[in-house]
Amino acid sequence: MKDMKKVRLTTFLVVVSMTLNLCSCSKKEETPVTEAPTTTTETQVKEDTHQPDPGASDTLPEKEEMMKNRPEVYANAILISINPSFIFYTGEDDVVFCVEPLNDDAREIAKIEDFSGKPYRNSVHDLVSICVDKGFIQNNGAVDVTILDSTQSEQKAHAILGDIEEEVRITGQEHNMNLQTGMNIDEGINFAPETQNDPGDPNNPGDPNNPGDPNNPGDPNNPGDPSNPGDPNNPGDPNNPGDPNNPGDPNNPGDLNNPEPEDTHEHHEETKEEGCPVCWGSGKCDRCDGSGRETCPDCNGTGKAKCTRPGCQDGYFDCPCDNGKCHKCTGTGTDDQGQPCDACGGTGNHKECGGTGKIPCDSCNGTGIVDCDICKGKGSEECRGCQGTGICEACGGTGKNPHKQA
């Protein structure tokens, strides 16, 4: 009896032990795995909402790397950065004579379009138009312009930027688009002094920067006496204080032949400083010099262009004959009866081409040249800068600097 109780007790303890183990395992398995909370970081939001800017400029190398192939002599190096990006090198005449594409897209465009040989405004207009057509820049896109280097004055650099900014605006209007601009000047440029651009001002004969008289290089006692060109023995004859041939005599400051040249000089400098930087105070469109018309870029002002009618070669078509022979007598000049051929009059030549095998083009009358289709033979077209008005658009014809007006 006791043995039976022991067996039962042992069995009960074993069952209890197994039950507890099973409960412990079950709890472990049922414990849910805690997942890391899903959070949206600021970086992820920016990445998800970022939209490409079609007008953003591409990443460019340093200035020295960009200009490593620059020409030996130039007036200005102008960086036009749209992606594609180019450097336009201009001469003193403001014409682009050297073009440097800076990336693959620019090199592909350079294969189909030559921006050299044109005023920089024309080159910028053509480049922006191509970029719009090819989708490189869209509405509200940006065109960044930087004067990388210059041998001219800082005032000239600002005038160039003003021109280009206006040209980008006009080009955008032609494509029904609003284009943004960024205008910059490289900080490392050593500009030429302003006075070096005006060494021979006729209104300022006493300007120390205008020593143009080789016989009188700055003699303060005789600045311009034609009767005494630099005579060191006659530096201002005190016995002739009213000599009209010596209008610079310090003893005769009221001479009518010398109406206060210093005031004229000050007025001239003030006009240059306060006047419109685009038209230099003239109020006229600087692109066409106020004429309202500009040289046609397609014919370079000649009014003529090469005939492009299909089949025209130097003014002639190939005649549909047998090498100029008469089609009836095959070039013999006689018929079957031995009489002169009535089709060619006995010449044996094809009547239409006279035996040459060529027929004059009726479009160019055999010259190979026709009137330019753009300017209709006039050699000029309506100015794209002022739309034919001849008025400076920057200042509205006032000649005053619009940025300095109240």
Q: Could you check whether the bond before residue 320 is cis, i.e. omega within 30 degrees of 0?
A: no
Q: Which residues contact 331 (CB under 8 A, 6 or more apart)?
A: 322, 325, 348, 349
- Reported confidence tier of residue 18, pLDDT bands at 50, 70, 90: low
Decide if 25 is inside a domain: no
- pLDDT in the model for residue 40: 38
The predicted-structure confidence for 114-138, as pLDDT tens digits, reads as follows: 999 999 999 999 999 999 999 999 9
DSSP 317: E
Residue 150 lies in a domain: yes
231 found inside a domain: no
Number of C-alpha atoms within 13 angstroms, CB side, residue 383? 21
Could you tell me if residue 57 is inside a domain?
A: no
| 336 or 404, greater pLDDT | 336
**Distance separating alpha carbons of residues 116 and 135, to the nearest angstrom:** 23
Cβ count near 268 (within 10 Å): 15
Contact 255, 247 (CB under 8 A): yes
- The token duo for 116 is 């050299």
Q: Is residue 145 part of a domain?
A: yes
What percent of the chain is modeled with pLDDT above 70? 65
What does pTM read for this prediction?
A: 0.39
* 346 or 107: which leads in pLDDT: 107
> Looking at the domain assignment, is residue 135 inside a domain?
yes
Q: Which residue has the higher pLDDT, 269 or 141?
A: 141
In a domain, 232, yes or no: no
Task: Specify whether the CB–CB gap between 128 and 134 falls below 8 A.
Answer: no
Q: What value does the mean pLDDT take over residues 8-31?
A: 50
Report pLDDT digits (tens) over 77-97: 999 999 899 999 999 899 999
Q: How many domains does the chain have?
A: 1
Asked whether residue 357 is domain-assigned, the answer is: no
* Residue ranges making up the domain that contains 179: 63-185
